[in-house]
Amino acid sequence: MSDIATITQELLALERIIGVSFIDEIHLLTAITHRSYLNEHREAKQGHNERYEFLGDAVLELIVTDFLFRKYPEKPEGELTAIRAALVNTVSLADAATRMNINEFLLLSKGEAKDTGRARQYILANVFESIIGAIYLDRGYEDAKNFVAAHLFDKTDAIVSKRLWQDAKSRFQELAQEHVGVTPNYETLSQVGPDHDRMFTVGVFLGHEKIAEGKGRSKQEAEQSSAEAGLTVKGWD
């Protein structure tokens, strides 16, 4: 969404998607405005969304913490913390934003609008949080809570049942022991580049069988990447 003349119409469409009717639509407009957009549109009256994102992040954490605390009264603090982290990480929030088609409503610079992949994931995750902040400012905590519940809580059962709250290495080890009775081992296959910009390739093995490879800027990152790939190869993800 970049044509100023269409913004009011587009905001109404976005309100229908997110299920919230704003009292002051400047809150929603600010929530979808990236800093880069304002650099190219000096005439814009709204600010960018970074403060809203800051607020929304805190509101989201409280909403999710309260939800998990009540849903899983038997789980210890450490496990609840890990589940919460999995539920509100960049991938999860970006996925929720994508399912709502929020990408079509973002106000970005022409350069930012061309970005895809991980860069766009970060933007979408941040906008999801900034929308929470906007709802909280405009309609209050309960409406913000209802928004999060409608668009995020449905991920919880899968995160818990598939143990997605664990890091990839922990999940792969647990599932490898469960399915084949073997503890995975990791082997550095290569490392290239200077010390300040080194890239590691690590293989994950079950016994003598190499299951998958992963790359990373550190051995630990490459091991996590190879474990994630191993989960996919084995169909355990």
pLDDT digits (tens, 9 = 90+) for 113-134: 666 666 788 999 999 999 999 9
CB-CB contact of 199 with 208 (8 Å): no
Q: What is the mean pLDDT of the chain?
A: 90
Q: Which two tokens stand for residue 126?
A: 């941040």
Catalytic, 57? Answer yes
Beta bridge partners of 191: 200
Return the pLDDT at 28. 96
pLDDT average, residue stretch 209-216 = 94
Mean pLDDT lowest among 118-122, 139-143, 208-212: 118-122
Tell me how far CA of residue 167 lies from CA of 91, 109, 152, 220, in angstroms. Answer: 14, 35, 20, 12
Domains of the chain, earliest start first: 4-161 (1.10.1520.10), 168-234 (3.30.160.20)
Report the Cα 226 to chain-centroid distance in Å: 20
| All residues at 6 or more sequence positions from 3 whose CB lies less than 8 Å from its CB, including other chains | none
How is 5-43 classified by DSSP, letter by letter? GGHHHHHHHHHHHHT---SSTHHHHHHTB-HHHHHH-TT
Tell me how far CA of residue 148 lies from CA of 27, 51, 142, 228, in angstroms. Answer: 17, 19, 10, 28
180 phi/psi in degrees, rounded to 5: -125, 0
The pLDDT tens digits of the residues spanning 149-208 come to 999 999 999 989 877 777 888 889 989 999 999 999 999 999 999 888 899 999 999 999
Task: Say which of 25, 129, 138, 228 is annotated catalytic.
Answer: 129
Catalytic, 157? Answer no
How is 88-118 classified by DSSP, letter by letter? SSHHHHHHHHHHTTGGGG-B--HHHHT--TH
The pTM score is 0.73
Task: Say which of 25, 53, 57, 213 is annotated catalytic.
Answer: 57
Q: Which two tokens stand for residue 4?
A: 């100023």
CA dist., res. 63 & res. 150, Å (int) = 12
Question: For residue 133, which of 30, 9, 12 has the smallest C-alpha distance?
Answer: 30
